A = this chain, B = another copy of it.
Amino acid sequence: MSRYTAPLREMRFVLFEVLQAESAFAELVGAENASRDLIDAVLEEGARFTEQVLAPLNQTGDAEGCRWEQGRVLSPKGFKEAYTQFVDGGWNGLTAAEKFGGQGLPEVVGAVVKEMIDSANLSWGTYPLLSHGATESLKNVGTPWQQEVFLKPIVEGRWTGTMCLTESHCGSDLGLLKTKAEPAGDDTYRITGSKIFITAGDHDMTENIIHLVLARLPDAPPGVRGISLFIVPKIKVNREGVMGAANALGCGSIEHKMGIKGSATCVMNFDGAEGYLIGAANKGLAAMFLMMNSARLAVGLQGLGLMERAWQNALAYARERLQGRSLTGPKRPDKAADPLIVHPDIRRMLFTQKALIEAGRALAYRAILLVDQAQHSRTPEAREQAEVLLGFLTPIVKAGLTEFANECCYHAQQIFGGHGYIREWGMEQLSRDARITTVYEGTTGIQALDLIGRKVLQLQGAGLKLFATEISAFCAQHAGESALVEFVTALARATQEWMDLTLAIGKAAEANPDAIGGAAHDYLFYSTYVAFAYYSLRLLVAAAGTDQDFQAAKLANTRFYFQRILPRATAHAAAIRSGSGNLMELADTAFV
């Protein structure tokens, strides 16, 4: 059975010392009341709830899984009760606007709680997560009556939401989708089609489920420009918010998956189900992307949550498990063997996890603070700047943290040796759960194309320039500090190479569009290693006023990162420079 204790000190350190959240909130409209005391109390309560209520259901939920019985999905034992406690505790509406019944706290505070939820029980966390996604769309493109009727009950937690995008023949390529929406003559539509991989598509936790469904109107142009978004409730709801009969939709089956077995992944069949258009006709993809961006950051947090839990358990095991002797002589001569943690290779795996978790947490929280700044900064310029930087960092957070989550869970499992492969120890579940995070809400390959193609090349590098300028200013500020010089120099050099690589890809892409796809993955990783280097160093700088042990740990992590992880970027640079010829020249048929 794996353990979990919310890393409150690390979380607060990032929030208040590294990101200076208090002064950041002071600049936001409506966040003036988010005081440190209030946030501390929220985080402590969140720690208690996730450690005591959610964490104990993680392994049992995995073992039991969801069940599909006669069209209904039953969640694992205890999930419904935990959801009720969650809603009763006000957690569901933590960051929603007060006018919709929420508590109006900044998104970044919600992100800290979300990290705890993901560490404690990723599967359980998918149910409120999907509500959060639906909230985003309703908030941004819903009409007032749609917000009144659908948004409030979701914020309250009485209903949950879903995102119905994928069909069996189209995942990454939504232009292929076939689900139809026919006008019914009144203000409703009849939705017909089959969607797959619908997280929380059905469950037994709430009285209604509000599906946000992508579908095509009869006269829609082909491809992605002909997709509209619809609100399709499980139980019909009229404009007064009164529930009526069951809608013509149902869960056809649930998937049997590698992991997140407590999360219901549903095939949803719509057979002329009644729905309302949300947002403009044929603009559904844009409306969906409002939830998608938020969902991508949320999946990055899932990666973070999993790494954190894996690391905590690996560290505890490395301290407890006696195996072998230190090569420099016994460290515990009173025992039959030394603890694993004396071995350099065990420490290599521990440091790898810790260095990636810490920099990843700072980067993720920073990105989500940008969500608050993009929405609530006082000036349009500040909002626009936050939005651009957020768009740039989102694929890095999503792909970087989820890929590293897989790596870190792998290391944690490895530290457990054979026990890491056995279910009762709980480590293999973390690896299985982590495996979905690089896939859903856009695969790593999709994130990579989003970064170099959309966020960098299409936008003339606007976000990259903002970020690189920030890093350069940071380097200039600390260039004279002898204790930091090795790190500042390396960071400045890597940032410069990042710019050079960007220009080289842009130039190559002018002659050959495949240069983008050929470089995308390695560019994403290069970018991620630089961004993590920056935050690793910011953590060290921010630790200056803390106690000796904390500072020593931060110095060790930063040094490890710069000496043993950042060099990986050179391999990615070499791959980028090698061009796309080595990928594209072999005929498709000649792969043998």
Q: Using CB atoms and an 8 Å cutoff, list the residues of chain A in contact with chain B.
A: 9, 166, 169-173, 175-176, 196-197, 255-259, 315, 319, 322-324, 326-328, 331, 336-337, 339, 341-348, 350-351, 354, 406, 410, 413-414, 417-418, 420-424, 428, 431-432, 435-436, 438-440, 443-445, 448-449, 512-514, 516-518, 520-521, 549-550, 552-553, 556, 559-560, 563-564, 567-568, 570-571, 574-575, 578, 580, 582-588, 590-592
- A422 and B255 contact, Cβ closer than 8 Å, known pairs A171-B417, A444-B414, A591-B350: yes
A187 to B147, CA, bound (A): 85
Tell whether, in the assembled complex, residue A336 and residue B176 are in contact, meaning their CB atoms are under 8 Å apart: yes
A417 to B169, CA, bound (A): 12
**For the complex of A and B, 7 pairs with smallest distance between CB atoms:** A344-B517, A567-B574, A258-B428, A327-B513, A563-B578, A556-B586, A344-B518
Tell whether, in the assembled complex, residue A322 and residue B169 are in contact, meaning their CB atoms are under 8 Å apart: yes
A518 to B344, CA, bound (A): 5
| Nearest CB of B to A402, in Å | 11
A-B contact pairs, 12 of them (CB 8 A): A171-B418, A172-B324, A196-B418, A327-B516, A341-B591, A344-B516, A348-B521, A350-B591, A428-B435, A556-B582, A563-B582, A564-B578
- Residues of chain B lying within 8 A (CB to CB) of residue A255: 421-423
Instruction: Name A560's closest neighbour in chain B (CB-CB).
Output: B582
| Nearest CB of B to A568, in Å | 4
Instruction: Name A444's closest neighbour in chain B (CB-CB).
Output: B414
Tell whether, in the assembled complex, residue B328 and residue A514 are in contact, meaning their CB atoms are under 8 Å apart: yes
The secondary structure that dominates the A interface is helix
- Residues of chain B lying within 8 A (CB to CB) of residue A420: 439
Instruction: Name A436's closest neighbour in chain B (CB-CB).
Output: B421
- Residues of chain B lying within 8 A (CB to CB) of residue A423: 255-258
- Residues of chain B lying within 8 A (CB to CB) of residue A567: 570-571, 574-575
Known: A328-B514, A421-B436. 14 other contacts (CB 8 A): A171-B418, A173-B337, A256-B422, A257-B428, A259-B421, A319-B588, A327-B513, A327-B516, A327-B517, A345-B445, A348-B518, A414-B439, A552-B590, A571-B571
Give the one of A559, A567, A586 with max B CB within 10 A: A586
- Residues of chain B lying within 8 A (CB to CB) of residue A574: 563-564, 567, 570
- Residues of chain B lying within 8 A (CB to CB) of residue A341: 588, 591
A436 to B414, CA, bound (A): 9
- Residues of chain B lying within 8 A (CB to CB) of residue A432: 258, 432
- Residues of chain B lying within 8 A (CB to CB) of residue A345: 445, 448-449, 517-518, 520-521
Tell whether, in the assembled complex, residue B514 and residue A327 are in contact, meaning their CB atoms are under 8 Å apart: yes
| Nearest CB of B to A308, in Å | 13
